[in-house]
Structure 1
Amino acid sequence: MTSEPAERAGVPRRSLLLGAAAGAGAVALGAGGAIAPPAQAAAPFVKGADISWMPQMEAKGYYWNNSSGVRQDLFTILKGYGITAVSLRTWVNPSSDPGNGHCSIEETAQMAQRAKNAGMQVLIGFHFGDTWNSVGVQNPPAAWAGMSYSQMLQAMYDYVYHSCNVIKYYGVTPAWVKIGNETNSGICKPTGSISKPAQMTGLLNAAYEMSKQVFPSTPVLVHLAQPQNLAGVQNFLDAYRSNGGKWDITGLSSYAQGGNVPTVLANMQTIQSGYGKPVMQVEYGGPVGKPTQVRDSLRAFVTGVRGFGGLGTFFWEPEGYPSFNGYNSSAWDESSRRPTAAMDGFLNV
């Protein structure tokens, strides 16, 4: 189910030998500055939202009203708040569980096509697992768990190259590709643990190189969580950089609220200046029951990130209803199906 139509269309898989050759080309490209052209820095500040649950919610009969209480296409509502981009996660061999599964590359590509047709830019986020990976969990896909490092490296080349070609088959060129999700402790542990920095870097570089092979001009992000813990983020980036790690943008998650926001913003700016890569806040959110607090903190992040030259801020799954996913972080009131005041944080900033 994950990619059969694309396979029939002749989407190729990539060999390690060709991947290594592509990697050499990517290094030269990076050294020449072509990966992150000046136009990237001049691009408008991105206001975005991760809406990966949208297809599964629609399949369960969920829908969304606009602020006037009128049922409307979710993309249209989001654009009314100045949102121009969506983030979509993808898993390797996910289950059919509505909240913790789906998001195969085939499903994600179809959703990316919908977003493109709605006039949205798309961020594709690889978790390199069969379900959630995050700052506390970095489990490899079950099919990779018993592999040696060299086997896993080959699997990474094949998987990312193939997945990017599936996205391309659906007519989408992502605006950004994110390799890993909150990878502070590494990826595909224990093989790619930060305690094995050369292997961690090798796996991530394979993903970087294959993304560039298919989408040469698309910036690639690494993604770290908890910028309030500056040393933890620096620990990853130092290890990654010292082992030859390649990335174009540093993606950061922060759900900070109120008085905690200024410290996080200062750390984000330190990360941007210290590593010479622009920062993008790829996750933000807050309690659905505190919409004005979430609004004000979102506004502070948008203003602050843009102020130091960061690239954008994404709200994580604002459309999610607690009855569907069990999470308290949302920006839609389930009883009225209207957006809460939290979404106003994107307006007039």
Structure 2
Amino acid sequence: MSERLITRRNLLQTTAVGAGALALGQFGVAPPASAATFYTGADVSWVPQMEAAGYYWLNSSGVREDILTILKGYGLNAVRLRTWVNPSSDPVNGHCSIDETAAMAVRAKAAGLAVDIDYHFGDTWNSVGVQNPPAAWASMTYSQMLTAMSNYVFHTMNVIKYYGVTPTWVQIGNEINGGICHPVGSVSKPAQMTGLLNTAHDMVKEVFPSALVMIHLAQPQNYSSLTTFFSGFSGNGGKWDMNGFSSYGSASVAAGIVANMASISNAYGKPYMQVEFGGQVGKVSSTESALEAYVTALRANGGQGLLYWEPEVYTQFTDYTMGAWNSSTFEPTAIMNGFTA
């Protein structure tokens, strides 16, 4: 599907892509997230690579099941899926091309789960401390990057649409306190940062008018970094529907951190949710308590959901130690009970 780049200029000339024609409007539009719905979910972007390596998951009764089925058993109703521009084949730090992300989105839709597409705008990890552009964009001017951004988001959204999935949310960047695609879109260049993000916003809306375009920031305990970003973004005409935040804090700080999420979101009149949470798998009881505390605080302060970051991961696959599955028994730990407490 994505071997031929679909841009706004050539879309009308595209009569067949892959196995069939790409017909805009062919698929039904999913309803937007409702304030009455509280979403609990997980980022499960490593699942295809883990499955390819032979990993599997058992439920709390020790029975092997599809990971999405197990997550639904804990009441989860959403998944987040990252996507990279030109990723490597490294199972931990690569994959997540748009075709792979779309395939996982199809699985999520079939399981009845809402989908959050998380653009990193890079070839591998971008986060609060790193915002590297894709290698193919690295030497571009601002004007050239605007065109690349427009074509890339329009194309990849159409890949998702081709496979029959309408995302509920689309994150235009991952933990972008410092901006995107450095140095061109750095927060220190707010007009250019906003121009790139607005281009991404517009292309998402052109393909999926109902999708909620989300701005994702990290470390809400650091309130000044939130205000620096939003003052530059909003002050330059930034367009977005919703805020998403990453927080891995303990139960004792959950209420204050969520209060910061609510405060900055209310200041700009936006709904919000927490799109990343995790805890030390070796500290099961404290992590379960923290998860429960964040869910409770978010519900009490108008938050619309919480997503756990890669709860299904095993330490044999990667050194990430904040999952929620036992790497020896392949069963979920009590951490997952924090969703249903």
Please report the TM-score for the alignment, with normalisation by the length of structure 1: 0.90
Q: Percent identity?
A: 61
User: Is 1:68 paired with 2:61?
Assistant: yes
Distance 1:259 1:241 in 2: 32
In structure 2, relative to structure 1, the CA distance for the partners of 1:263 and 1:115 (3 Å cut) is: same
Match of 1:236 in 2: 229
Question: Shift of the alpha carbon at 1:191?
Answer: 0.3
Q: Which runs of 5+ in 2 are unaligned?
A: 13-30
Q: In the TM superposition, what whole-angstrom CA distance separates every residue of 1:296-339 from its partner, at most 9, and x where no partner exists?
A: 11111111111111110000000011111211110000100011
Would you say 1:3 and 2:2 are equivalent positions?
Answer: yes
**CA offsets, 1:67-108, max 9 Å, x none?**
111111111100010000100000000000000000000110
Which residue pairs with 2:71 in the alignment?
Answer: 78
In structure 2, C-alpha distance between the alignment counterparts of 1:219 and 1:258, rounded to whole Å: 29
**From 147, 152, 155, the counterpart of 1:159:** 152
2:25 paired residue number = none
Whether 1:306 aligns to 2:299 is yes
Q: Counterpart of 1:217 in 2: which secondary structure?
A: coil
Contact 1:15 1:157 in 2 (8 A): no
Shift of residue 42, structure 1, vs aligned partner: 3.4
Aligned to 1:22: none
Distance in 2, matches of 1:253 and 1:209, equals 24
Name 1:322's counterpart in structure 2. Answer: 315
- For 2:45 and 2:273, the matched residues in 1 are separated by 19
The alignment partner of 1:86 has SS state of strand
Equivalents in 2 of 1:339, 1:129: separation in Å? 32
Aligned 8 A contact 1:49 1:316 in 2 = yes
For the aligned residue pairs, the C-alpha RMSD in angstroms reads: 1.6
TM alignment of 1:328-339, pairs within 5 A: 328-339=321-332
Where structure 1 has 5 or more consecutive residues not aligned to the other structure, the ranges are 19-36
Match of 2:7 among 13, 31, 56: 13
CA displacement at 1:15 relative to structure 2: 4.8
Q: Which residue, out of 212, 215, 227, partners 2:205?
A: 212
The Cα shift of 1:268 comes to 1.2
Spell out the pairing of 1:181-200 with structure 2 (5 A cutoff): 181-200=174-193
- Name the TM-score, length of structure 2 as normaliser: 0.92
Amino acid in the other structure paired with 1:54: V
Deviates further, 71-80 or 128-137: 71-80
In structure 1, the partner of 2:123 is 130
Alignment partners' CA distance in 1, 2:9 and 2:239: 20
> Deviation of residue 14 (structure 1)?
2.2
Equivalent positions of 1:280-295 (< 5 A) are: 280-295=273-288
CA distance in 2, matches of 1:342, 1:321: 14
C-alpha distance after superposition, 1:181-220 (max 9, x if no partner): 0000000000000110000000000000000000001110
SS in 2 for 1:159: helix
Does 1:203 find its partner at 2:202? no
Q: Give the structure 1 partner of residue 163 of structure 2.
A: 170
1:266 aligns with 259
1:135–1:225: 8 Å Cα contact kept in structure 2? yes
The residue that corresponds to 2:135 in the other structure is 142
The structure in which a higher percent of residues are helix is: 1
CA distance, structure 2, for counterparts of residue 43 and residue 122 of structure 1: 17
1:111-147 alpha-carbon deviations (Å, 9 max, x no partner): 1011111111110000000000000000000000000
SS at match of 2:316: helix
Separation of aligned partners in 1, 2:105 and 2:36: 21
Q: Does 1:278 align with 2:245?
A: no
CA distance in 2, matches of 1:52, 1:41: 25
SS in 2 for 1:98: coil
CA distance in 2, matches of 1:156, 1:300: 38
Paired residues, what number? 322
Moved more, 49-58 or 291-300: 291-300
Q: Give the whole-Å Cα distance in 1 for the aligned partners of 2:254 and 2:114.
A: 27
SS in structure 2 of the partner of residue 280 of structure 1:
strand
User: Which of 314-323 and 40-49 deviates more?
Assistant: 40-49
Alpha-carbon distance change, 158 to 87 in structure 1, aligned in 2, over 3 angstroms: same
Written as runs of structure 1 = structure 2, the 5 A alignment for 1:102-117 is 102-117=95-110
Query: Whole-Å Cα distance in 1 between the matches of residues 119 and 147 of structure 2?
Result: 16
SS for the counterpart of 1:332 is coil
Q: Distance in 2 between matches of 1:41 and 1:56?
A: 32
Match of 1:52 in 2: 45
- Aligned equivalent of 1:24: none
Looking at structure 2, the residues matched to 91 and 230 of structure 1 have their Cα atoms a distance apart, in angstroms, of 28
Amino acid at match of 1:3: S
CA distance in 2 between counterparts of 1:132 and 1:266 reads 28
- The amino acid of 1:241's aligned partner reads S
1:262 deviates by 2.0
Deviation at 1:235, TM superposition (A): 0.8
Q: Please list every run of at least 4 consecutive aligned residues from structure 1 whose deviation after the TM superposition is greater than 6 angstroms.
A: none
